[in-house]
Amino acid sequence: MSAPTLSRTGALLPVVGGDTPVPLVDGRTVPYANLDYAASAPALTAVADRVNEVLPLYASVHRGAGYLSQVSTALYETSRRTIADFVRAREDDVAVIVRNTTDALNLLAGCVPGRVLVLDCEHHANLLPWVHSVGDDRRRATVLTSADTVAGTLDLLRAELARGPYALVTLTGASNVTGESLPLDRVVDLAHAAGARVLVDGAQLVPHRRFSLADTGVDYVAFSGHKTYAPFGAGALIGRRDWLDSGTPYLAGGGAVRDVRTDRTLWQPAPARHEAGSPNVLGAVALAAACQELAALPDGALVEHEEALRRRLLDGLSTIPGVRVLRLWPDSTDPIGVVAFTVGDDDPGLVAAYLSAEWGIGVRDGRFCAHPLLARLGVTGGALRASVGVGTPVEAVDRLIEALRVWTERGPRAEYDVRDGCWTVVDDPRSGVDGIDALAATAAAGCGPVVGE
């Protein structure tokens, strides 16, 4: 396990690719300034080391009698326990290993025995599984328009819960647009008093704050490995056993069943019930390793690191004319290191292309898979989002601020144009990194609409 100390670069923990050089349009090369952790975070070095360590042990799991099969099975099941412990699961909670948060939320949507209450400020992953009608009345959800303050939103929640009954209140642990959140303990009190359970979409919260099911009373949490410094294709849904034991099996197939005849199937209880097919052993091992690394950080280190970066980012943005930082609830406390903003009326796709081509900075632009939230904030043309994590050095934030200052004072040096719906440099001379022509690859894949997701 690596030491939880500040590294040479100002990062809290070493990540793979933290210094990867990227080409600029003027022919120079600079270390990549990754300010897109909220989308996907780089692997912790310790996670990559752990994956390499267990690769020689990898073999079939659960049904293999061979020695390595049994080692792999033990690794998978131990990882499940470690991941559950990381979010302080209760003794009788179940941890289902899934692909990502989207997978986890869709899985639970098939298990909730009643109506669902969801806010309009959610990521689509925590909105569509509940409102997407599949002809099953139980899945119907009420989408509550949140108020401009935390206090007002809690009042609306209380009033709507009284109109229930609701089986579940689902909300984000931290917004992927503003980093803000409602106080979970207050929501749990309101929901439980009304007989509803609480699900937290922990995609942004879990990698950035210590979270405890046991202490908060939250009933379910979902999160993704690739946002938790373990980009090996696994995520987790953890929570109360009864709904998961009786809900619709998420995937039908081998491993999820006790006995099959042609005219009937006996399903396993959770977690096996929802994990049909060969499990992602290495993904689970990677996620468990990331959980251990984050858990080993000294108390407060994570918050201190991210808060310092967020503060520096906000202070810097406040000096750039025309910048508007998006806020859902200005009275919310302890936002994580995710900041979305607009720069006057400038097209966020163009600004993002400039930041990449002329400064080597990676940010996200668009509507961040949260269209209702952006609409509520009156942002129709999309925005920019900078997000940080344990591998972010201060220099990356400073570079962004300097780049935005230059943008507003002088504008871009290169010429940009929309090609295939995406802002690109006209006659881009960059030829890629380490023989991989990323630009050609992106163009070949098509990069979506200008006001994208």
Nearer to ligand PLP, 385 or 399 (CB): 385
Q: How far is the CB of 98 from ligand PLP (least distance, A)?
A: 9
Cα–Cα distance for residue pair 186/166, rounded to 1 Å: 17
Nearer to ligand PLP, 388 or 401 (CB): 388
Q: Which long-range contacts (CB under 8 A, 24 or more apart) does 160-165 make?
A: 160/117, 161/117, 161/190, 161/191, 161/193, 161/194, 161/196, 162/194, 164/115, 164/117, 164/194, 164/195, 164/196, 165/114, 165/115, 165/194, 165/195, 165/196
Residue 204 in the binding site for ligand PLP (CB under 6 A)? yes
Stretch that binds ligand PLP, among 22-30, 54-62, 121-129, 301-309 (CB under 6 A): 121-129
Cβ pair 332, 154 in contact under 8 A: no
Choice between 171 and 353, CB closer to ligand PLP: 171
Contacting residue, 125, 187, 191, 276, with ligand PLP by CB under 6 A = 125
**Residues 290, 229: contact at Cβ < 8 Å?**
yes
Query: Considering only residues 293-322, where is the footprint of ligand PLP by CB under 6 A?
Result: none
**288 versus 401: smaller Cβ distance to ligand PLP:** 288
Compute the distance between CA of residue 193 and CA of residue 27 in angstroms, rounded to an integer: 62
Measured between alpha carbons, how far is 72 from 77 in angstroms, rounded to an integer?
A: 9
Query: Based on CB atoms, which residue is closest to ligand PLP, 228 or 356?
Result: 228
Site mask, ligand PLP, residues 27-56, x = CB under 6 A? Answer: -----------xx-----------------
CB of 29 to ligand PLP, least distance (A): 29
Q: Which stretch binds ligand PLP (CB under 6 A): 47-55, 129-137, 196-204, 408-416?
A: 196-204
Helix axes 281-295, 67-86, angle to 10 degrees: 40
* Candidate segments 100-108, 255-263, 278-286, 382-390, binder of ligand PLP by CB under 6 A: 100-108
Count of CB atoms within 10 A of residue 21's CB? 13
* Cβ nearer to ligand PLP, comparing 288 with 320: 288
In the complex, the smallest distance separating the C-beta of residue 185 from ligand PLP, rounded to whole angstroms, is 19
Q: Which of 111, 291, 369, 422 does the annotation list as catalytic?
A: 369
Among 449, 385, 380, smallest CA distance to 418 is for 449
Q: Which residues of 105-138 are buried (b: 16+ CB within 10 A; e: fewer)?
A: bbbbbbbbebbbbbbebbbbbbbbbbeeeeeeee
C-alpha to C-alpha distance for 276 and 259, rounded to whole angstroms: 13
Site residues for ligand PLP, window 263-292 (CB under 6 A)? none
Quick check: is 447 catalytic? Answer: no
Interface stretch with ligand PLP, choices 120-128, 153-161, 317-325, 340-348 (CB under 6 A): 120-128
Q: Looking at residues 159 to 188 of the shown chain, list those that interact with ligand PLP (rule: CB under 6 A).
A: 172, 176
Does the footprint of ligand PLP cover residue 102 (CB under 6 A)? yes
Quote the strand ranges of 348-412, DSSP E. 361-362, 364-366, 383-387
Chain residues that interact with ligand PLP, rule: CB under 6 A: 38-39, 100-102, 123, 125-126, 172, 176, 201, 203-204, 224, 226
Instruction: Kindly list the catalytic residues.
Output: 369
